[in-house]
Structure 1
Amino acid sequence: MKYSYAINVVVPIPIDGFFTYSLSKSEFFKIKIGSRVIVSFGKKKYYTAVVFEKHENFDIDYELKEVSYLIDEPPCITNEQIIFINWLSDYYLSPIGIVLDAALPRSFLIKSESVLKKVICDKSYKNEDYDYEILQLFENNEEILVNELVKIFGFKVLKRISALIAQEILELNEEIYTKYKEKTIINYSLNQSVDLSKISLRSDNQNKVLNYLNENINSSFSRIHIQDVLGVSVSVLENLVKRNILLKNRVPVKRIYNSTEISRNELVLSDSQKDALNGIKKSFLANNVVNLLGITSSGKTEIYVNLIKEEIVKGNSALLMVPEIALTTQLSLRLSSYFPSNLIVYHSSISPNMRHELWSDMVNDNKPKVILGARSSVFLPFRNLGIIIIDEEHENSYKQNEPMPRYNARDSAIFLSKILKTKCLLGSATPSIETYYNSISKKYGFVELNKRYGNFKEPKIALIESPKLDNESFLSLSLRKEIKICLENNHQIILFRNRRGFSTFLKCKACSNVNYCPNCDVCLTYHISENLEKCHYCSFSRVKQIRCSSCNLPSMELNGVGTQTIENELEKFFPKVKSQRLDYDTTRSKKKLKKILQDFSINKFQILIGTQMVSKGLDFSDVGLVGVIESDFLLNYPDFRSHEKYFQLIKQVSGRAGRSISDSKVLIQTNYPNHHVHNRIIDGNTKGFYQYQIDQRRDFNYPPFTRLAKVILKSKNINLLKLASNWFSKALRNNMKSEILGPEFPVVSKIKNNHIMNILIKMEVESLRKEKIRLFKLSKKINKYPQFKSVKLSVDIDPYN
């Protein structure tokens, strides 16, 4: 069939490829690449789709549906974003619909909802008790979303709904809803139709309001503004409204750009910072990507600010990416003092409505912006982007593991900089092995900053032996002595333990049985504040068990160390000292996180106990001691990156000490004082560590000398999983030229009742594209076999876990 006008669209669902729809001539020339349309999908559903291609005189061998209607005339995504989304989908083997769904704010992706309406209005009607339970909900509601009923009754309710529809008691329709809600405030203005000469007011406050609004006759003001300026109560305003002297209206307001100017002295760079800044600029003349290796507390942020300022002066925007949402809290306070009217903070935890407005503002406004964002900020619709800065580029948090798309935001940002023809700066005190190798092999520009800002010395790092006896405190005597000295010198302390909770696990003294999660292959972690054993993988929890589930004796005892345990031990040894935890449990809300960081920065408490969150770029001026407690497990973890991760973690957490004071210390409690990674940390031989790791990876054929793909297979039936995994690994060996490892069970081999097996593929860089195409085709075949229908298969390109 031939169509005069057609478009290829991407629908935000987990299906590969474009979908083609026809449209009229006027619609065709009105719509642009990157605009949104509503399309029917399947029998009844309607989705928002984004136009990726336009065609005239289009031939196709089946009948096309028509576009239902146009949402945007101006596009909601740019041409560069379309190139980027296509690349990301292709490189990470993710359906393009899933990539689009990850990129756009949810409020842009309008879709239809299944809505039920009651046809029979007789309230006394009863079919069965369960039906009546559904029907009585309609007594106070004209319509109810099917999803709401599923939330109340579970998925089994769908059969009962079908029966009620068949009996013509309920009617099912598809209706389209928008999720974006405009923010409004109440404004007051003078009613200009009122003759003020005839108004007599006894209240001084009412007269103040009247005079102020009369002086600004054509303006309206918010309640907060009037209260701030005049110091009157709401009741004063409402009384004037009742007398029809004031008018009250709701007006839309932006959620963004509400900051006030903050005075700040100009940045004064040290000689080392100036040299590094000049080195970066010179390197950008020859390289698109530059790596800044700056030791902790060397002042990399000040260099970032200088580079951003230069772009703003040129009329360009800048993107500064950080690996954790937590880091945006502290860094936004610093950046807002330099860029009060330009700063945008963008990440997945801001409200959907705020994300909608930020995105729209970037699409419609060419004003230079400073975007501070986490992983998802790489998808924004940039205009005139002058530089991308990726801080702490080595962090695993830049890699998304679940859900799809499993992209690395650092690597994606580097590719985006090529599309936008802009500069890209990678910053870290401990760059990834891949980045370091690309730097010394001159693929990237390379600049080093080896002096701390203010000429403060790096902390002295020492290894101390972990306590051996069961009745000993896990806070060793040496560590407790240093804590005491540090407190006497009025300095603060950070204690790092990469496990939250009170105890890592509960173990039976009599039979050595350990309490495991019933859904996952992991121990339950005890949380003393709630007296609960919790699984950190599936959220299963239960009250602490006293009796052993195996021998039934009341002999369960606590084992291991969590952040809550450290908190309890500190109370025992230092009862008058205030401490606070910084982990997932204590920072579930943005406000709690911000309060903990602010309180520590102004010395409201002396000891901060934390997980990896305390190692990532936080800047506190008065930390004199960092203690690392029981992190040896990383040295022995079965991952080719484990030594790299341990080195980075220790160096980063050490960098929180002595940022504005001299003679700071870092104590590492370990059972492996002679380990070669510890030797490199103690003697400060960073280059030696990196060269050793590079040599090891070259010898064993790991990145950066190859590219990895991990195939993850899951099933509730372990025997079926083994069968499918062996079949697929054989298919890979028969069809690919790459080295295939596995299948093997991972360290955690069951999550949420799904058993897991992994297959690792080492692909040569030169044949990467061809091998990924073969892998992609094979991954689509497994579910075509009836016996493997229930097996879930996914592919992770460049995996980090």
Structure 2
Amino acid sequence: MLYLDVILNVPVNQAFTYSYVPPESAKTENKPEAGKRAEVRFGNRNMTGFITGVHETLPPSCPVDASKIRPVKRIVDAEPLLTEELFAIARWMADYYLCTLGETVSAMLPSGRRETNAGGFSFDSEIPFAQAHELSQEQRDAVDGILTHNTSRAQFHYLYGPTGSGKTEVFLQAAERTLAQGKGVIYLVPEIGLTTQVIQAVVRRFGNTAAVLHSGLTPSQKLSEWRRIMHREARVVIGARSAVFAPVPDLGLLIIDEEHDGSYKSGTTPRYHARQVAMFRCSRLGIPLVMGSATPSVESWHLIQTHGLAGHTLTRRLAGGTMPLISCVDLTKCEMSGCCLSDQLTGEIRTTLAAKKQVILFLNRRGFTHFFRCASCGYEMTCKNCSVPMTYHKNENRLRCHYCGWSAVPPESCPKCGSLDIGYSGFGTEYIEAETAAKFPNARIIRVDTDALTKKGELEEKLDSFRRGDYDIMLGTQMVAKGLNFPNLQLVGVVLADTGLHLPDFRAAERTFALITQVAGRAGRFFPDGRVIVQTYSPTREPIAYACAGNVNGFYEYELKQRELLGFPPFSRLVRLVFRSADNNDASGTAEAAAGLLRNARGKIKNAGDVEIMGPAECPVAKISQNYRWQILLRGPDIKPLQEMARTLLFGYSHPQSVYIECDVDPVSLL
């Protein structure tokens, strides 16, 4: 008999011991080894865990008698899924992000029970392999700088350049040179569905040696791709956040495209950031990590300036394009041609269409209108499950919550006072679509947001049809701001730049600047007269003013001064604790008790004297999916004392079972 240490995806910080009796015919059974999955009985349910140790005798750490040890039901895998390197990453993540080893391993690996022959990416052999482009001198210098190993310089690199400056080609040629040395490559992109052009470029360049990991794969397909990577059949892995865990043998280069994007941070346990995991993995292996963006995160910009990252800069657009001319329209002063399109924007659209060019209209707000409001008593209809306003969707004639999905038929009178003087205010992409169609009846219009995408593959179809010229105007949310090239696109209109500016989050300015800059970068990539119109009620606010002026350095200098003044990252570190419960008193009471425990712990933990305990307070979004939310924010100059204080709470505090505590180390949002 053998005894197996098995970790499970449960919030209990320990391995569990199970027994294993080898069958009489060893050929019919997979042998237990560290890194393989095992199916076990846990409580009253079957679960699949991962073997971390195999013992011939009962481990001394096992707290129960051998007679009470449950047997393993079966060994799932013929060969281990977890390498020692991945185990090391999992252990670091569990320690850094304050969760269990079982939770980290479960987040890293595919969940398929059996493999399938269905490939992860359908590669068309008729598509010609793309040849490497001739690099500019700036691009050659960047590739050389990234791959030239110098022990006196950081192994972390940042490629900064405006949209359309050729960053992708630098990444691809750095990958080619890495492959030529017999090493593997991981290429991270923010969201697979929104970066199809980058994926196509990788697959065209590397063919069947590329593996694509994305959420559209079934668990069995993911497992099949995982095996293909482990067996060296695929040497370039491209994928979203979780591809940072790909089991690439002899990894030689890790690339993070659009590094600023918030989707690199996981919203569920373990709440890891792919950038931090990549830094740990590359440091451990002694290999280069290169990140890139036209709008770096404020933390990365600060690291470039302080030489924590080796910076490489591309200064000009390729493909014949120049940076577009950006005009700012003050909505408090201008003439409006309808509810949401200024006369200036309307005129530019008309001129662009007459020249047989294309237009993108961007608004980061879905739906038809944003608020249902009573003019008599001021009542605003909010979701019954969440503390957020309902959004009206005219096509469905329903009010819908964009947090939990609950919907309702619009009332005919005010639910509070009974008045018939009710209506809607604000506008979303559906409203823009209706108004644009009324103004330009002959224009072919397409809308791209999550409400308009109902079928698998529909996003790619719509983007391809716009690229082919089947449509004249594309309306969309942030989906149209990421990594897209449209050869005939001349005009970008930002219908309202203020939508995220006033959120109670210290990153609101950074996100607003990045979104305007990124969507503006879609215009005029292939010809010299691209134009951008930015409509705003806040033309003098720094994120909007700097974005409209194209003054990247000015914005980061301003934002870093604000962060330093207010004590936010990169000049401090944060840990966020959220207490959520269906009972508001339970959530608030537990948060109050936790704050007291944290204050007591502060005096006992080394270097914790400077830690601020902010709160408890209601979260800005105080209720989501029937759960009330309270938060405590730990802030200090170093992350270690914050983690130790939070660890004391998470693993040493018995709180009511009705309350769930979320722990977010280095949060990217405080909403």
TM-score by length of 1: 0.77
**What aligned pairs does 1:461-540 form with structure 2 within 5 A after superposition?**
461-466=326-331, 472-540=338-406
The one of 424, 434, 447 equivalent to 1:581 is 447
1:800 corresponds to 2:631: no
Q: Distance in 2 between matches of 1:534 and 1:260?
A: 44
Structure 1: segments with no counterpart, 5+ residues:
109-179, 184-252
Query: How far apart, CA to CA, are the structure 2 residues paired with 1:103 and 1:674?
Result: 44
Q: Which runs of 5+ in 2 are unaligned?
A: 603-607
> What is the DSSP-based 3-state SS (H/G/I as helix, E as strand, rest coil) of the residue aligned with 2:441?
coil
Once the two structures are TM-superposed, the CA of residue 367 in structure 1 deviates from its matched residue by 3.1
For the 8 Å contact 1:11–1:47, the answer to whether it is kept is yes
Structure 1 residue 301 displacement after superposition: 0.8
- Shift of the 488–444 alpha-carbon distance from structure 1 to 2, 3 Å rule, reads same
Aligned to 1:453: 318
DSSP-derived class of the 2:208 partner: coil
**Helix, strand or coil: the match of 2:634?**
strand
CA spacing shift, 1:91–1:538, aligned 2, 3 Å: same
From 472, 475, 496, give the equivalent of 1:630: 496
Of 744, 753, 756 in structure 1, the residue corresponding to residue 629 of structure 2 is 756
Q: How many residues align?
A: 650
Aligned to 1:353: 220
Asked whether 1:377 is paired with 2:243, we answer yes
Paired AA for residue 388 in structure 1: L
Q: Which deviations, in whole Å up to 9, do the C-alpha atoms of 1:470-498 show, x marking residues without a partner?
A: 99421111110111111112111111101
Provide the residue aligned with 2:480 in structure 1. 614
Counterpart CA distance in 1 for 2:124 and 2:506 is 46
Corresponding residue number in structure 2 for 1:50: 50
Task: Find the counterpart in structure 2 of residue 415 from structure 1.
Answer: 280
Alignment of 1:529-568 (within 5 A): 529-568=395-434
Matching residue of 2:597? 731
Report the secondary structure of 2:555's partner residue: helix
Amino acid of the residue matched to residue 469 of structure 2?
N
What's the counterpart of residue 336 of structure 1? Answer: 203
Q: Does the 8 A contact of 1:320 with 1:370 survive in 2?
A: yes
Deviation readout 1:453-510 (Å, 9 max, x if unpaired)? 1352101111102267999421111110111111112111111101011111222233
Q: Take 1:283 and 1:686, find their aligned partners in 2: how far apart are those partners?
A: 30
The one-letter amino acid of 1:16's match is: N
1:436 and 2:433 are equivalent in the alignment: no
8 Å contact 2:115–2:221 — kept in the other structure?
A: no
From 18, 26, 38, give the equivalent of 1:21.
Answer: 18
Q: Specify whether residues 55 and 694 from structure 1 end up closer, same or farther in structure 2 by C-alpha distance, changes over 3 A only.
A: farther
- 1:268 is matched with 134
3-state SS, counterpart of residue 510 of structure 1: coil
Whole-Å separation in 2 of the counterparts to 1:357 and 1:501: 39
User: Letter of the aligned partner of 1:94 in structure 2?
Assistant: C
1:293 aligns with 2:164: no
What amino acid maps onto 2:111 in structure 1?
R
For the residue of structure 1 that corresponds to 2:457, the secondary structure is helix
Q: What code does the residue aligned with 2:312 have?
A: V
Q: 1:81 aligns with which of 78, 82, 86?
A: 86
Name the aligned partner's letter for residue 47 of structure 2.
Answer: Y
Following superposition, the deviation at residue 369 of structure 1 comes to: 2.1
Q: 1:52 to 1:547 in 2, by over 3 A?
A: same
CA contact (8 A) 2:336 2:342 kept: no
Shift of residue 555 of structure 1? Answer: 2.7
Q: Which piece of structure 1 moves more, 551-560 or 567-576?
A: 551-560
1:789 maps onto 2:657 in alignment: yes
**Partner SS, residue 556 of structure 2:** helix
What does 1:561-710 align with in structure 2 at a 5 Å threshold? 561-710=427-576
Confirm whether residue 769 of structure 1 aligns to residue 640 of structure 2.
yes
CA distance in 1, matches of 2:244, 2:141: 29
Q: Quick one: which amino acid aligns to residue 659 of structure 2?
A: V
TM-score by length of 2: 0.91
Q: How does 1:142-181 map to 2 (within 5 A)?
A: 180=114
Q: Distance in 1 between matches of 2:358 and 2:316?
A: 23
Q: Which residue matches 1:203?
A: none
SS at match of 1:632: coil
Shift in Å, 1:524? 0.8
Could you list the per-position Cα deviations for residues 727-766 of structure 1 after superposition, in whole angstroms to 9, with x for gaps in the alignment? 222222222231111122222111122111111111332x
Deviations 1:583-608 (A, max 9, x none): 11123433111111100111110111
Please say if residues 574 and 636 of structure 2, whose CA atoms lie closer than 8 Å, have aligned partners that are also in contact.
yes
What amino acid does structure 2 have at the position aligned with 1:346?
Answer: L
CA distance in 2, matches of 1:74, 1:581: 47
Per-residue displacement from partner, 1:388-418 (whole Å, max 9, x unpaired)? 11000011111111x3221111221221222
Residue 23 of structure 1 and its aligned partner are, at CA, apart by 4.3
Deviation at 1:254, TM superposition (A): 5.2
CA contact (8 A) 1:259 1:341 kept: no
Alpha-carbon offset, residue 53 of structure 1 = 2.9
**Alpha-carbon distance in structure 1 between the residues aligned to 2:336 and 2:203:** 50
| Paired residues of 2:575 and 2:663 also in contact (CA < 8 A) | yes
The 3-state SS of whatever aligns with 1:74 is coil
> Which residue is 1:235 aligned to?
none
Within-5 A mapping of 1:35-74: 35-42=36-43, 45-55=45-55, 58-60=59-61, 62-64=64-66, 65=69, 66-74=71-79
Q: Which has the higher helix share?
A: 1
Q: What's the offset of the Cα at 1:697?
A: 2.1
- For residues 132 and 582 of structure 2, what CA distance do their matches in structure 1 show? 61
Letter in 1 for 2:665: I
Give 1:781 shift. 4.6
2:605 aligns to what? none
- The equivalent of 1:116 in structure 2 is none
Distance 2:589 2:158 in 1: 46
Look up the equivalent residue of 2:661 and give its one-letter code.
Answer: L
Distance 2:140 2:349 in 1: 37
Bigger Cα displacement from structure 2, 683-692 vs 352-361: 683-692
- Distance apart, 1:558 and its partner CA: 2.1
Evaluate the alpha carbon distance shift between residue 503 and residue 29 of structure 1 in structure 2; reply closer, same or farther with a 3 A threshold: closer
The change in CA–CA distance for 1:672 and 1:338 in structure 2 (over 3 A counts) is same
Query: How many angstroms does 1:377 deviate by?
Result: 1.1
Find the partner of 1:392 among 258, 271, 276: 258
What's the offset of the Cα at 1:56? Answer: 5.6
Q: Deviations over 1:518-548 (max 9, x none)?
A: 1111111111111111011111112222222
Residues 664-673 or 587-596, more deviating:
587-596
In the aligned structure 2, how far is the partner of 1:750 from the partner of 1:702? 25
Say if 2:155 and 2:289, in contact at 8 Å, map to a contact too. yes
Residue type of the partner of 2:635? K
Larger-Rg structure: 1
1:424 corresponds to which of 276, 289, 298: 289
SS of structure 2 residue aligned to 1:518: coil
Q: Secondary structure at the match of 1:453?
A: coil
What is the deviation of 1:688?
2.6
Summarize the Cα distance change of 1:613–1:773 in structure 2 as closer, same or farther, 3 Å threshold. Answer: same
For 1:399 and 1:99, the matched residues in 2 are separated by 14
Partner residue, 1:204? none
TM-superposed CA distance for 1:655, in Å, is 0.6
User: What is the aligned-residue identity percentage?
Assistant: 34
Aligned mates of 2:287, 2:575 — CA distance in 1: 29
What CA distance in whole angstroms lies between the structure 2 residues aligned with 1:770 and 1:672?
40
State how far apart, in whole Å, the 2-side matches of 1:5 and 1:465 are: 74
TM superposition shift of 1:717: 2.4
Quick one: higher RCO (CA 8 Å, sep 6+), 1 or 2?
A: 2
Task: Return the letter of the residue paired with 2:177.
Answer: E
Query: For residue 5 of structure 2, what is the aligned residue in structure 1?
Result: 8
Range with greater deviation from structure 2 (301-310 or 678-687): 678-687
8 A contact 2:116–2:220 mirrored in 1: yes
2:121 and 2:397 map into 1 onto residues whose CA distance is 42
